[in-house]
Chain A
Amino acid sequence: MSVFNLLNVGRSAMNATAFGTQTHGQNAANAATEGYTRRVARLQPVAPPPPGGGGARATGARRKIDPYVERRLLGARTEQGGAEARLEVLGGLDLTFADESGNVAEALAAFEGSLRELAAYPGDAGAREAVLGRAEALERAFQSAASQLTGLRDDANDRVQDEVRTLNERLERVASLGNAIARSELSGREASDLRDQRDQVLRELADQVPLTVLPRDDGQVTLLLGGTLQLVDEDGNVSPLGTQVDAATGDVRVTRTVAGAVQDITDQLAPADGARGRLGGTLEARDGALAAARAALDQLAFDLSGAYNAVHAAGIDALGGTGSNLFDPIGAVEGAAASFRVSADVRDQPERLAAAQDATALPSDDRNALALADLAQANTALGGTATATEAYAALLAQVGADVRFARGDLDRTGGLRSQTEALREAVSGVNTDEEMVGLMEFQRAYQASLRVVQTADEMLAELLQLKR
């Protein structure tokens, strides 16, 4: 081995250890960067080694990653994303029914009370005015609740469209990054940063939909939605999702175009069980608990309107008229709460309230007012099995249970995601203490390499001294 070779050993080691310090420095610099995967410098002896050894060389920086943990993290984020989106929609539902003032139950109780007062004084103008006033308050309560629920449904539809739009943008980004990674690695360059970027986009995609990632040797990935629907193919081609508004319901449906044919995949995105992601969670909340609450409120409005109209129409008003409605007749259950309003037959006409059942006994006949008052205790709702108040209480209980379940689900999935992220961080995260130790280690190695060069230099100097 020559002294010159010793110089080469020192030089290569200095380069290699400098690369090591650079890697630890990069890690420390990105300790707070979301999605960053710590790097480990790959150093190896120079091969084939000349006699006595050739020093060290850096072959690159490897990302420290556990693909199984990464896969579990995608699943955990999908579950948590679904639970989060569902609670975002249903949280509004909770608030809609939390308002004590002006809610349906209060308005209903006041309306029922006014009918009892009318029964006591059927000819009294004040009692009649009070009934109409309370009926109008009930109308406002139903319409307000219906309007808020419709607003929540509209918000959910907007969320679905936003989710689909951002999902398509992310799919394009995954495809684009896949191509860049393939090109970079084909030319022998490191693509760790690009892979980090793509992994981060994949995690964001996993928040939205259940994702299956199939990595390929050339650096590209194939993406499947729910394990079956291809979103990005092996050549980096994207199959974007679309949206359509259902003309009958006004709901936004999610579609996918395959061979020119548009498929509705809404139901596949919100399966009865399994992870859903934000898109599926939003759909599940909209078509599940929110739709059920709207239907229950509509049913109550429909039942109430029908029951009171039937009794009122059979009665006789203060002018001797009969056959009038107390509320506008409602033709269908759907949308009944929004259509619930005091009938034009009686609005602003208290004398048209049918408190009597016998025209010859006016104004003393209170029998129809009593019959109307008795509806408060009659099973007019839920198919004749409950009073209106009981039906509304059942609606509140169902809403509360749905929201509570959603909140519990978010806690559970949030905990699962946190634990999985901690696992990922344990493998791929940066610990600055560790990086400082690494820096010191390579600094020491650099100093040793420098000493090798100095030693070689001294040896050469001594050799030259011999010639003099």
Chain B
Amino acid sequence: MRVSDRSTFELNRRELLRRAEDLADAQETALTGQRARRPSDDPLAFAVATKERSREIREDVRQRALVAAQTRIDVQEQSLADIATVLRRAEELTIQAANDSLTAEERLNLATEVTAIRDTVRGLMNAEAGDRYVFGGFDDDQPPFDDTGAFTGDLARPQVELADGVRMSVGVSADVPFDTGGPEDVLAVLVDLEAAMAADDEAAIQLNLGRVQGAHERVVSARASLGGQQNAIAVADAVAERMKGEAKVHQDALVGADEVDALIDFQRVQGAYNAAVRIAAELPPPGLVEVG
């Protein structure tokens, strides 16, 4: 077939442009680490990667919620542990006060210590995680137990999503460990005990010994129930972490570029471009125009 000068130059121009385009594409892939940067680069992979990115965000949000729930439970757990400790002390004082050899003055001194215990317990019942009062339910932006020991919070528990559609109530509501308003209301028991000691009322002290023990057991029991939640959250957090990681890995696999492959491809394309430039630089080949 005859080859015209225009054909030669046109072929050269076209190939140079095509290879320059290939080079720019390979360069962008190597620089960004992304094989599919636009939907048309790989429509299906780009679409699935978008869903994976949403899944990654969803798992990230879930993890944040799990961490917040974990913190709330941890603070409750530590608070209940401390309350159990001081209630144990209150129990010892009650047994000591129930001894008929004690004088009224000695019982008054014990009552003073019970007062301190009550204040300590109230402080622990108003424990905070961040700026949230962990025993306040949803009404958790103010101390749930006021100076008189009255409960001003609510008994609802926030829920945390362990997995899609699987939710768990977080922590314990205040009535469970503290029997707020009930016969074993911790603060009321301590108030009654303190009064009995101050009044040197041995019978009343004896009567409150059982209530103190009951309150202590209630707190210990509530604390134990948190262990199961902590385990559930730890498992959910691990699953969320794994799924988030999987979502990232899937995204990389779908639209990411292997660095080594990208560099090798870049070198290959650059070689092709250099060859095209070299050939273009030697156009037109020597012909009769020059020879003549």
Q: Which of A117, A364, A399 has the most CB of B within 10 A?
A: A364
Cβ contact within 8 Å between B10 and A389: no
- Interface bits B19-58 vs A (CB < 8 Å: 1, else 0): 0000000000000000001111111101110110110011
Asked if A393 CB lies within 8 Å of chain B CBs, one says yes
Cβ contact within 8 Å between A98 and B5: no
Asked if B271 CB lies within 8 Å of chain A CBs, one says no
A84 to chain B minimum Cβ distance, whole angstroms, is 14
With a cutoff of 8 Å between Cβ atoms, the chain B residues found around residue A114 in the complex are 61
User: Bound state CA distance, A440 and B292, in angstroms?
Assistant: 10
User: Bound state CA distance, A207 and B2, in angstroms?
Assistant: 25
- Pick the interface stretch among B64-72, B86-94, B95-103, B235-243: B64-72
A453 to chain B minimum Cβ distance, whole angstroms, is 25
With a cutoff of 8 Å between Cβ atoms, the chain A residues found around residue B58 in the complex are 109, 112-113, 376
- Pick the interface stretch among B119-127, B152-160, B189-197, B259-267: B152-160
With a cutoff of 8 Å between Cβ atoms, the chain A residues found around residue B40 in the complex are 94, 399-404, 407
List residues 141-170 of chain B with CB under 8 A from any CB of chain A.
Answer: 141, 154-156, 158-161, 164-165, 167, 170
Cβ contact within 8 Å between A97 and B39: yes
- Interface bits B174-202 vs A (CB < 8 Å: 1, else 0): 00000000000000000000000000000
- Interface bits A83-103 vs B (CB < 8 Å: 1, else 0): 000000000001101101000
Asked if B289 CB lies within 8 Å of chain A CBs, one says yes
User: Bound state CA distance, A170 and B281, in angstroms?
Assistant: 37
B41 touches which one: A38, A397, A400 (CB < 8 A)?
Answer: A400
B39 touches which one: A94, A121, A428, A440 (CB < 8 A)?
Answer: A94
A446 to chain B minimum Cβ distance, whole angstroms, is 16
Asked if A416 CB lies within 8 Å of chain B CBs, one says no
How many chain A residues have a CB neighbour from B under 8 Å?
Answer: 67
A418 to chain B minimum Cβ distance, whole angstroms, is 7
Q: Which residue of B lies closest to A103 (CB)?
A: B50
Q: Which residue of A lies closest to B44 (CB)?
A: A397
The verdict on A113 contacting B57 (CB below 8 Å), with A120-B68, A377-B165, A403-B39 known, is yes
Cβ contact within 8 Å between B289 and A436: yes
User: Bound state CA distance, A82 and B34, in angstroms?
Assistant: 31
Asked if A108 CB lies within 8 Å of chain B CBs, one says yes
Cβ contact within 8 Å between A109 and B57: yes
- Interface bits A441-464 vs B (CB < 8 Å: 1, else 0): 000000000000000000000000
Cβ contact within 8 Å between B47 and A396: yes
User: Bound state CA distance, A55 and B139, in angstroms?
Assistant: 117
User: Bound state CA distance, A339 and B54, in angstroms?
Assistant: 24
Q: Which residue of B lies closest to A406 (CB)?
A: B40
- Interface of A, secondary structure class, is helix
Q: Which of B51, B64, B155, B160 has the most CB of A within 10 A?
A: B51
Q: Which residue of B lies closest to A397 (CB)?
A: B47
A393 touches which one: B50, B138, B156 (CB < 8 A)?
Answer: B50
- Pick the interface stretch among A41-49, A324-332, A419-427: A419-427
Q: Which residue of A lies closest to B158 (CB)?
A: A120
Cβ contact within 8 Å between B287 and A436: yes
The verdict on A431 contacting B3 (CB below 8 Å), with A121-B138, A389-B54 known, is yes
Cβ contact within 8 Å between A364 and B53: no
With a cutoff of 8 Å between Cβ atoms, the chain B residues found around residue A97 in the complex are 38-39
With a cutoff of 8 Å between Cβ atoms, the chain B residues found around residue A20 in the complex are none
With a cutoff of 8 Å between Cβ atoms, the chain B residues found around residue A407 in the complex are 40
Cβ contact within 8 Å between A425 and B6: yes
The verdict on A109 contacting B5 (CB below 8 Å), with A117-B61, A403-B40, A433-B288 known, is no
B138 touches which one: A31, A123, A390, A392 (CB < 8 A)?
Answer: A123
With a cutoff of 8 Å between Cβ atoms, the chain A residues found around residue B137 in the complex are 364
User: Bound state CA distance, A373 and B58, in angstroms?
Assistant: 11
Cβ contact within 8 Å between A109 and B53: yes
Cβ contact within 8 Å between B37 and A98: yes
Asked if B1 CB lies within 8 Å of chain A CBs, one says yes
Q: Which residue of B lies closest to A377 (CB)?
A: B164
Asked if B278 CB lies within 8 Å of chain A CBs, one says no
Per CB-CB distance, the 4 closest pairs between chain A and chain B, nearest first, are A429-B4, A400-B43, A400-B39, A113-B61
Query: Can you give 23 contacting A-B residue pairs, CB < 8 Å?
Result: A97-B39, A98-B38, A100-B53, A105-B53, A106-B57, A119-B159, A121-B138, A363-B154, A364-B137, A364-B156, A370-B167, A374-B165, A389-B51, A393-B51, A396-B43, A396-B50, A400-B39, A404-B43, A426-B2, A426-B7, A430-B4, A430-B5, A433-B288
